[in-house]
Amino acid sequence: MSNCDAVDSNEHPWLGRVVKVGLFLLAQSIAVLLVSFVALLVSFAPGWSATTEQASLLQPGDAKSGSLLLKEDSAYTEAIRLGIDVDITVSGPTLRTRVTQIFRNPTKDWVEATYVYPLAADGAVDTLKMVVGDRVIVGDIKARQQARAIYEQARRNGQRAALTEQERPNIFTNSVANIGPGETVLVQIEYQEPVHQSGNEYSLRVPLVVGPRYNPAPIVQSVDFRKDGSGWGATHSDPVPDRDRISPPVLDPANNAPINPTSITVHLKAGFALGEVKSHHHNVKIASPDNATRVVTLADGNVPADRDFELTWKPTAEKAPSVGLFREHVGDADYLLAFVTPPAAEQTTQKPLPREVLFVIDNSGSMGGTSIEQAKASLLYALGRLQPNDRFNVIRFDDTMDVLFPTPVPADTTHVSEATSFVSALQARGGTEMVPAMRAALTDKLGDTNTVRQIVFLTDGAIGNEQQLFETITAMRGRSRIFMVGIGSAPNTYLMTRASELGRGAFTHIGSVEQVDERMRGLFAKLENPAVTGLTAKFSEAKVDVTPAIIPDIYRDEPLVLAAKLDKLAGSLEIKGRVGDRPWSVTLPLQNAAEGKGLSKLWARRKIGDAEVARTLREMTPEDTDKTILALALDHQIVTRLTSLVAVDKTPSRPEGQPLKVSELPINLPAGWDFAKVFGERPQLTPTQLRERRADAGQPAARRPAPVTPDAIRLPKTATSAALKMIAGLIMIVLALILFVFNRRQRLLTDVA
Amino acid sequence: MPRFISPLVLALVGTILFGDGAYIHAKAWLAQVLLERAFDHSVATGQPFKPWSWADTWPVARIEVKRIGASAIVLEGTSGQALAFGPGHIHQTVDAGERGVAVYAAHRDTHFRFLRDVATGDVIDVTRSDGKRFRYRADASSVVHFDASGIDPTTHGFELVLATCWPFDSVTSGPERYILHATLIGTDG
């Protein structure tokens, strides 16, 4: 049989080859499995993964150029450090504040830093200085686009540059480009502001942090039809188009120590003998060089920038001066600033008109913590002050809204106690949809013209769509008067002042529970006493440009503040009005005016405010408003929404080819706020990312990193190269086999031959 | 025998390439086995449990489509590393079962290969690591660009999105993604 086998094999020589090829294939597949498992065992390292992460992290806007990277780890320890020094000089009616921001770069990279910070709403920012080493570079005022272009150019060229832009009248952004490794750059801005007066008390307020704003989602589109009746119009989809510019990263106080240490010094030269000087939210040391001067410093050195600094002072005399007149000569014009406190009206013989009071309380998430307690205490105080013949209603809102009574009800015991328990049960949560609440409050259901209609609106104003609110007030105010009560450690002062100005009311700040009693008493004095109405100002000789153009009504204890530009300082100023139902007038000779500082800037700032109001009231077209503002701003060198300050160090510092990283400086949560109440409900919106960007030489001008908008969930790369590799591998193996077989056959053929 | 060298080199390179590809699949398969164990441990203890000691992620949920017998363990995060081992939960989105939209993404050629077989109307079960089970019903699918997913993270519904690369049979990666949308229909456990 063995023979037979041998014969068989000799008879079919190709059979052996087939067996051999089969064996080879088997060995090959074993080898493949072996190699793959050896690879598996030897290294389970992530580096082997065929997918890369970067594709998913590209920002949408920059995906094409592939230059922008978003880093999501919390690398703040390695980020730019910031220190703030605030130096304020009060000279009589005005104050000048110098804010120095110290940007220190402890990293090994070149960095661009942006910091969003608040300033007083009526401040005129006119100076930007950048200090690098021993060089001081002074900024120039430029139209906003132009300033931005200059800054971007310098940034690309590797030059140090600083840019100050206005995002809201009380929110500014500083950008500093090309801070070298280990380097410190100082950016200094200065602004002028009038001192505030209320009754016997003078005050200044330095906001130190921008409270996170609620930016309503662009769900409902509003339509503006053209005025020519052609039927064409445009839709506005986003109520806060610049949401990314006013939303810096916010650190959760539970996980991070407070940042941005701030020191504050106030040189107080009141111009009269000083009585009580008081800081309301910070511990201070007060030195008294003489009886009209004080130097106020923080007792504990530095504080984190997480609440407003508020300082008030009173004269020693029983009564504060009721008139103040100050002048400044700039260029070929004189500028005048006048403070006049009308006399308090004695209670007239006739009974005051009954009132209809609507209380609106904000119980949104941003009010969480101590703010809601202050708001509730204030509202409960107010309810207690109602007279039986008053009518009232209570509205509460977050992103929902409740109106307590269908129509305003008499303030009898039953209704007031019902309102008291309603208010006591309120809790802070949800978003801040302020516009519908304002609309509900302005809806005049009774229409009873024999009553005075007053709206008391308690909020921190932490919204980004201020303009929408202003438009609502303008459109619906009717006979209602709006009194804003700003609650919390860092309220939005711009919103409060403008809303009460448009609503022809007044506004009050309450920064702590201790202030509730005193401040609410002041507010009620305004509500219960007749206002000074029908005010006019007349200059006897000079040609003038007065602001405010239409003088608002003045409530009890408030001064009338006028700013004017005159062609000559001569003659007198006569102010007329009615206190309650009695006529009142006062005449001020202009020669007696004292020298003041920075009055021209204050005048310009108020003119700009007037123009913005006129636009809201639709008395001016947006184009005309912009033209007016731009001219004023460039004339008087102040930062507005249309102008920015830019400083460029002419010597390049960053070597070409070195990358530049972007660091958006995080801010503290305002004191007393509850992080979870503000951000907890929408964790995906928590802006805790640090953004990084590399600037390559010759790359086209990039704007700030595009916002991570909620609707831009970017899907990661979800394809492996497994199939590609396996196919390529198989093709090569097959090729190898073919070559092998071909070679073998050739050899066999030569053997046979 | 110099003429054997070229086919041998070719065979070796081919083997390595093939092995590399097979390795991705092997890793994906083996990781799921380890993850299955870790996930059961998580459900039992209620604590996040790392599947292997040096892992930088942990299982957060199990996705099952009973009709086609598919199942996968989802990991937290969608870094390339996490996606090599299992589907990832895009961490700006909510957890399954919560108000909003939960988005899970995975490779089209490994863990989410089964998505091509999932039809509208299929029931998708998601078990969270705390043991809660949520039942979703697939109601729509679409092909989108990776940076314009159209997914609304602030939606008021209870939604689920499974995402992978598109097209399924392509061997190179591209910008297009396939997304399968589902809505919560029930909760148990």
DSSP calls for B36-62: HHHHHHHHHHSS---SSTT-S--EEEE
**Cβ contact A360:A404 at 8 Å:** no
Tell which A residues from 692 to 721 touch B, by Cβ distance under 8 Å. Answer: 710-721
The confidence band for A231, taking pLDDT boundaries of 50, 70 and 90, is low
Confidence of residue A708 (pLDDT cuts 50, 70, 90): very low
Residue A750 in contact with partner chain B when CB distance is under 8 A: no
Q: Distance (Å) from the C-alpha of residue B45 to the closest C-alpha of chain A? A: 26
What ipTM was predicted for this assembly? 0.82
H/E segment holding residue A470: helix A466-476
How confident is the model over A336-355, as pLDDT tens digits? 999 888 877 665 545 667 88
Instruction: Write the pLDDT tens digit of every residue in A366-380.
Output: 888 888 888 898 899
Of B17, B52, B105, the CB nearest to A718: B105
Whole-number Å distance between alpha carbons of B152 and B159: 10
Set of chain A residues whose Cβ sits within 8 Å of the Cβ of B165: 717-719
Q: What is the mean pLDDT of residues A534-556?
A: 84
Contacts of A731 in chain B (CB under 8 A): 14
So what's the pLDDT on residue A698? Answer: 31
Q: What distance in Å separates residue A722's CA from the closest CA in chain B?
A: 4
Residues 6 or more apart whose CB falls under 8 angstroms from that of A408 comprise A356, A358, A391, A392, A393, A445, A446
Q: Give the 3-state secondary structure of residue A660.
A: strand
pLDDT in tens, A445-488: 877 777 889 999 999 888 888 888 988 898 888 888 899 998 88
Q: Taking CB atoms and an 8 Å limit, are A716 and B24 in contact across chains?
A: no
CB contact under 8 Å between A713 and B151, yes or no, is: yes
pLDDT tens sequence across A271-324: 888 888 999 888 999 998 888 899 999 888 788 878 889 999 988 866 667 788
Nearest CB to A718 within list B23, B83, B148: B83
Asked whether the beta carbons of residue B26 and residue A58 sit closer than 8 angstroms, the reply is: no
CB of A56 within 8 Å of a chain B CB? The answer is yes
Q: Is the pLDDT of residue A163 over 50?
A: yes
Edge-to-edge strand order for the sheet containing A171-179? A140-143, A643-652, A159-168, A171-179, A110-118, A660-664
Q: Which residues of A touch B23 (CB under 8 A)?
A: 36, 39-40, 48
What's the confidence (pLDDT) of residue A151? 92
Query: Which of the four pLDDT bands, split at 50, 70 and 90, describes residue A707?
Result: very low
Domain range spanning residue B139?
2-187
Higher-pLDDT residue of A144 and A53 is A144
Chain A, nearest residue to B148 by Cα: A712
Asked if the Cβ–Cβ distance from B105 to A716 is below 8 Å, we say yes
Q: Do B152 and A32 touch (CB under 8 A)?
A: no
> How far does the CA of residue A716 sit from the closest CA of chain B (Å)?
7
Best-predicted range by mean pLDDT among A176-180, A674-678, A687-691?
A176-180
Could you give the percent of chain A with pLDDT greater than 90? 17
Tokens of A126: 């006119």
The CATH code of the domain that includes B90 is 2.40.260.10
pTM above 0.80, yes or no: no
Which of A91-105, A176-190, A702-716, B151-165 is least confident? A702-716
Q: How many other CB atoms sit within 10 Å of the CB of residue A534?
A: 12
Selection from A267, A510, A184 nearest residue A378 by Cα: A510
- For residue A723, which residues of chain B lie inside 8 Å, CB to CB? 21, 109, 171
pLDDT digits (tens, 9 = 90+) for A4-43: 343 344 445 566 666 666 666 666 666 656 555 554 444 3
* B70: closest CA of chain A, how far (Å): 18
A contact test, residue of B23, B115, B144 with most A CBs within 10 A:
B23
State the pLDDT at residue A266. Answer: 93
Interface test with B, best of A73, A399, A726 (most B CBs within 10 A): A726
Question: Is A46 in CB contact (< 8 Å) with chain B?
Answer: yes
Give the Cβ contact number of residue A565 at 10 Å: 20
- Among the partner-chain residues B4, B15, B147, the one whose CB lies closest to the CB of A63 is B147
- For residue A30, the chain B residue with the least C-alpha distance is B15
Residue-level pLDDT at B7: 83
**Shortest distance, CA B5 to any CA of chain A (angstroms):** 9
Per CB-CB distance under 8 Å, the chain A contacts of B146 are 55-56, 714-717
The Cα A491–Cα A330 span in angstroms is 35
Q: How far is A746 from chain B (nearest CA, A)?
A: 11
CB contact under 8 A, B153 and A711: yes
Cβ <8 Å between B80 and A46: yes
CA-based nearest distance A728→chain B, Å: 7
Q: Which residues from A are below 8 Å from B177, CB to CB?
A: 715, 718
Q: Do B13 and A732 touch (CB under 8 A)?
A: yes
Q: Give B98→chain A minimum CA distance, Å.
A: 11
Residue A257 scores a pLDDT above 70: no
Q: Is B108 exposed, middle or buried (0-12, 13-18, 19+ CB in 10 A)?
A: buried
pLDDT (tens place) for every residue of chain B, 189 residues total: 566 788 888 888 889 988 988 888 888 888 888 888 888 888 888 777 777 777 778 888 899 998 888 889 998 887 767 788 888 888 778 888 888 888 898 888 888 888 888 888 889 999 988 888 899 999 888 888 877 777 776 677 788 999 888 888 877 777 888 888 898 888 875
Answer whether residue A264 shows pLDDT above 80. Answer: yes
Stretch 491-550 of chain A: residues touching chain B, C-beta under 8 Å: none
Q: What is the pLDDT of residue A232?
A: 60
Which is nearest to A660 in space by CA: A80, A111, A159?
A: A111
- Judged by average pLDDT, the poorest of A130-134, A500-504, A729-733 is A130-134
Cβ contacts of A735 on chain B, cutoff 8 Å: 7, 10, 14
Q: Which residue of B has its CA nearest to A738?
A: B7
pLDDT range class, residue A1, cuts 50, 70, 90: very low
Q: Do B15 and A28 count as a contact with CB atoms less than 8 A apart?
A: yes
Check A725 against B18: CB less than 8 A apart: yes
Two tokens, residue A425: 């049960």
Nearest CA of chain A to the CA of B30: how many Å?
Answer: 10
CA distance B172 to chain A (A): 7
Please give the Cα distance from A212 to A461 (Å, whole number).
Answer: 10
Distance, in Å, from the CA atom of B92 to the CA atom of B100, rounded to the nearest integer, reads 11
Residue A743 to residue B147, Cβ atoms within 8 A: no
Whether B97 contacts B126, CB under 8 Å: yes
Return the pLDDT at A348. Answer: 52
Please give the pLDDT value at position A630: 93
B127-164 burial, b for 16+ CB within 10 Å, e for fewer? bbbeebbbebebeebeebebbebebebeeeebbbbbbb
Q: Measure the CA–CA gap between A314 and A293, rounded to whole angstroms.
A: 12
Q: Which residue of A has its CA nearest to B53?
A: A44
Contact B51, B59 (CB under 8 A): yes
- pLDDT on residue A30: 66
Can you tell me the distance from the alpha carbon of A504 to that of A524, in angstroms, rounded to the nearest whole number?
16
Q: With beta carbons under 8 A apart, name residues in chain B contacting A727.
A: 21, 171
Residues in CB range of A146: below 8 A, 6 or more apart: none
Residue A365 one-letter amino acid: G
> In chain B, which residue's Cα lies nearest the Cα of A35?
B19
Q: Do A171 and A209 meet the contact criterion of CB atoms below 8 Å apart?
A: no
Window A:721-740, CB contacts with B under 8 Å = 721-737, 739-740
Contact indicator for A507, A495 with CB cutoff of 8 Å? no
Nearest to A743 among B3, B78, B164 (CB): B3
- State the Cα–Cα distance between residues A691 and A79, nearest whole angstrom: 10
Picking from B4, B18, B161 by the largest number of A CB atoms within 10 A of its own CB, the best residue to mutate is B18
Q: Which of A20, A715, A726, A737 to mutate to test the interface with B (most CBs of B within 10 A)?
A: A715
The count of CB pairs under 8 A between chains A and B is 200
Mean pLDDT of chain A: 77
- Asked if residues A384 and A413 have their Cβ atoms less than 8 Å apart, the reply is no
The pLDDT, as a whole number, for residue A16 is 64
Report CA-CA distances (Å) from B126 to B61, B72, B132, B183: 6, 10, 8, 12
What phi and psi, each to the nearest 5 degrees, are found at residue A654? -80, 120
The larger pLDDT score, comparing residue A258 to residue A177, is at: A177
Residue of higher predicted confidence among A493 and A233: A493
Q: What is the DSSP letter of A666?
A: -
Mapped onto helix, strand or coil, the DSSP state of residue A334 is strand
pLDDT at res. A235: 55
Q: Tell me how many domains chain B contains.
A: 1
* Whether pLDDT at A684 is above 60: no
In contact, A531 and A549? CB cutoff 8 Å:
no
Interchain proximity A722–B109, CB inside 8 Å: yes
Secondary element (H or E) of residue A221 = none
Query: A92-141 pLDDT, tens per residue?
Result: 888 999 998 888 887 788 888 888 888 887 888 988 988 877 778 889 99
